[in-house]
Amino acid sequence: MTATLTPEQALKDVFGYDYFREPQREIITELLEGRNCLVLMPTGGGKSLCYQIPGLLLPGVAIIVSPLIALMQDQVDALRELGVRASFLNSSLTPEEQREVVASLRDNSLDLLYVAPERLNQESTLQLLKSIPVALFAIDEAHCVSQWGHDFRADYLQLSLLQEVFPDVPRIALTATADANTREEIALRLGLQDARHFVSGFDRPNIQYRITQKQNPRQQLLRFLRREHESDAGIVYCLSRRKVDDTAAWLVQQGFDALPYHAGLSAATRQENQQRFLREDGVIVVATIAFGMGIDKPDVRFIVHLDLPKSLEAYYQETGRAGRDGEPATAWMVYGLQDVIMLRQMMDASQGNEKFKRIERAKLDAMLGLCEITSCRRHALLHYFGEDGHDACGNCDACLAPVPTWDGTEASRKALSCVYRTGQRFGVNYLIDVLLGADSDKIIQNDHHLISTYGIGKELNGNAWRSVFRQLVARGYLSVDHATYGGLHLNEKSRALLKGEESIALRIDVQEPSSKPQRKSRSKQAVADADKDLWEALRQCRKQFSDENDVAPYVIFHDASLMEMVHYRPLNEAQLLTINGVGQSKLEKYGAAFLQVIREHEGG
């Protein structure tokens, strides 16, 4: 029905955008010409347009397969706001609602249909789709076919039958998962061997990566939030439920709008907290990793980790939830000696065969490596995901404030030697006491005041030693025993260092520079004080529509669109249409109200 539009017109008229991003246009052409594609794009890269626009232009309904049922309602809401005829089909609908969707499919009055994989695989669904024109199949989160033990794997594997049942319908598989093996497996499992691959870089340049030493994590968090993200939406990750609850309650005391989220809360509470995070401005969710999968909120401005993730994959995925709208966002983490010891210990105690343990250990090593490096964090992250050729980024803590190092060879040898002399079974605190020559009962009882390393470390204080031990454990020069309470012992790697055959540079732990320039999101930064009133008035206007229509504010307009309105002050419909994110449908629905706000502001 919209067959007369070009992709460019659809982009402008429906979505309100002026330019395609790389490589959206090429992907759209492939689909329009009936060919299959495999798309690998980072989160926030703009995958959806790649199938939504062909779905609008091609005859018939585009079927989008996604496991993220909780997301479908919001996706469909956002599309309907744009005037797109979209619906979804999954187990959350009542039988009556499902019948309505089926009826609209039958009379060809849908452009896009989101469907859960298990639903699509049902014989009745396949029969129905065979009887109507289908524009394309988009298989989102396509990495589900490759991950062992993934909840949706079985259903995703069955999607291979699409090529047999619908040989003439183009298919596009999309994922944000990086590695080449996964891509090959997707192609194989989904019968996409002939598909052109579109692989976009993984860099998220708008995310600022910062990892800092844990001293007083709550005060550090408070300072970070107050200075940089006063009324922003963000996620704070903690490892345990207890810590989630405590941290959320504490943030509320400090005046933040913070909510807990973890698997121990009732489904209703979780749903409500997630909903508030999505629908309201400036809500902080404190969560275990249970939160985030399927959160598609574009204006998350910060991700905090109060505990270390277990792998760089997890870190990148979690931090990747920030800044999907392309505006500046911060990934901020604190970690310390205890985190390192605990994770090393957990790993050692973990069940599983040797191979599994080896992989887990390698992943943890990579995570700890990122924490301890003194060069560009982004460079290291991208390198880990197989992407080289980036220069130092200028937007991570290591680039912003180069990390000083010192020759820690001598200190490390003392530390390792002390581990050895005390029998390789004591924890860090005890070892430091010995190095500093403390006269504790325990040391006397053990006769450790008589050994050669007793009191040889007085040139450093306790904190400095803690830093030495942390770095030695993190970098694998000391192993943690899981049978004792964090007892340390030597390993293969220790030897060369102990013997003096190897030297080691250690980072000097500095507090985060207190004079770090206050960074706000570009939108807020760009709103000068004189424009604050208009900005607030526009946000208020957006909030009203968002409440009335029961959708998230960004579904009405993104912050970036409001910011452009503040800048350009459009006074009529034609001018308003030049604003990014304002298409025909939104112009009709909201144009008058927003123009009114701007005119009033200009007049007064």
Residues that bind Zn ion (CB under 5 A): 376, 378, 393, 396, 399
* Number of chain residues interacting with ligand ADP (CB under 6 A): 16
Query: Toward Zn ion, which CB reaches closer, 331 or 411?
Result: 331
Compute the chain's Rg from CA coordinates: 27
CA-based max dimension of the chain: 90
Bridge partners for 80 per DSSP: none
Q: Which among Zn ion, ligand ADP, none contacts residue 152 (Cβ within 5 to 8 A by kind)?
A: none
Q: How far is the CB of 376 from Zn ion (least distance, A)?
A: 3
Q: How far is the CB of 45 from ligand ADP (least distance, A)?
A: 4
Query: Toward ligand ADP, which CB reaches closer, 265 or 587?
Result: 587
Q: Which among Zn ion, ligand ADP, none contacts residue 41 (Cβ within 5 to 8 A by kind)?
A: ligand ADP
Query: Toward ligand ADP, which CB reaches closer, 23 or 191?
Result: 23
Q: How far is the CB of 42 from ligand ADP (least distance, A)?
A: 7
Q: How far is the CB of 398 from Zn ion (least distance, A)?
A: 6
Q: Is 43 in the site for ligand ADP (CB under 6 A)?
A: yes
Q: Is 75 in the site for ligand ADP (CB under 6 A)?
A: no
| CA-to-CA dists, residue 59 to 219, 315, 351, 601, angstroms | 58, 41, 53, 45
Neighbour-count burial of 444, counting CB atoms closer than 10 A to its CB (0-12 exposed, 13-18 middle, 19+ buried) = exposed
Interaction with ligand ADP in 288-347: which residues (CB under 6 A)?
A: 298, 324-325
Under 8 Å between Cβ of 418 and 435: yes
Query: Toward ligand ADP, which CB reaches closer, 48 or 90?
Result: 48
Q: Which among Zn ion, ligand ADP, none contacts residue 324 (Cβ within 5 to 8 A by kind)?
A: ligand ADP
Neighbour-count burial of 168, counting CB atoms closer than 10 A to its CB (0-12 exposed, 13-18 middle, 19+ buried) = exposed
* DSSP secondary structure string for all residues of 37-100: EEEE--TTS-HHHHHHHHHHHSSSEEEEE-S-HHHHHHHHHHHHHTT--EEEESTTS-HHHHHH
Q: Which among Zn ion, ligand ADP, none contacts residue 399 (Cβ within 5 to 8 A by kind)?
A: Zn ion
Given the rule CB under 6 A, which of 43-51, 204-212, 351-359, 397-405 is the region that contacts ligand ADP? 43-51
For ligand ADP, which residue of 41, 116, 340, 468 counts as binding (CB under 6 A)? 41
Given the rule CB under 6 A, which of 37-45, 438-446, 464-472, 570-578 is the region that contacts ligand ADP? 37-45
Q: How far is the CB of 140 from ligand ADP (least distance, A)?
A: 8
For ligand ADP, which residue of 45, 234, 260, 328 counts as binding (CB under 6 A)? 45
Residues 508, 374: Cα–Cα separation, whole Å: 10
Residues 55, 191: Cα–Cα separation, whole Å: 21
Q: How far is the CB of 226 from Zn ion (least distance, A)?
A: 25
First vs last C-alpha separation in the chain: 45
Residues 159, 166: Cα–Cα separation, whole Å: 11
Q: Is 46 in the site for ligand ADP (CB under 6 A)?
A: yes
Half-sphere exposure of 488 (CA within 13 A, CB side): 28
Residue 10's contacts (CB-CB under 8 Å, 6 or more residues apart) are 2, 53, 56, 57
Helices 312-319 and 354-372, axial angle in degrees (round to 10):
50
For ligand ADP, which residue of 10, 28, 49, 115 counts as binding (CB under 6 A)? 49
Query: Toward Zn ion, which CB reaches closer, 66 or 395?
Result: 395
Q: Which among ligand ADP, Zn ion, none contacts residue 47 (Cβ within 5 to 8 A by kind)?
A: ligand ADP
Q: Is 21 in the site for ligand ADP (CB under 6 A)?
A: yes
For ligand ADP, which residue of 12, 37, 40, 47 counts as binding (CB under 6 A)? 47
Map 302-344 to HEC letters.
Answer: EEEECCCCCCHHHHHHHHCCCCCCCCCEEEEEEECHHHHHHHH
Half-sphere exposure of 278 (CA within 13 A, CB side): 23
Q: Is 17 in the site for ligand ADP (CB under 6 A)?
A: yes
Residues 391, 394: Cα–Cα separation, whole Å: 9
Binding site for ligand ADP (CB under 6 A): 17, 19-21, 24, 41, 43-49, 298, 324-325
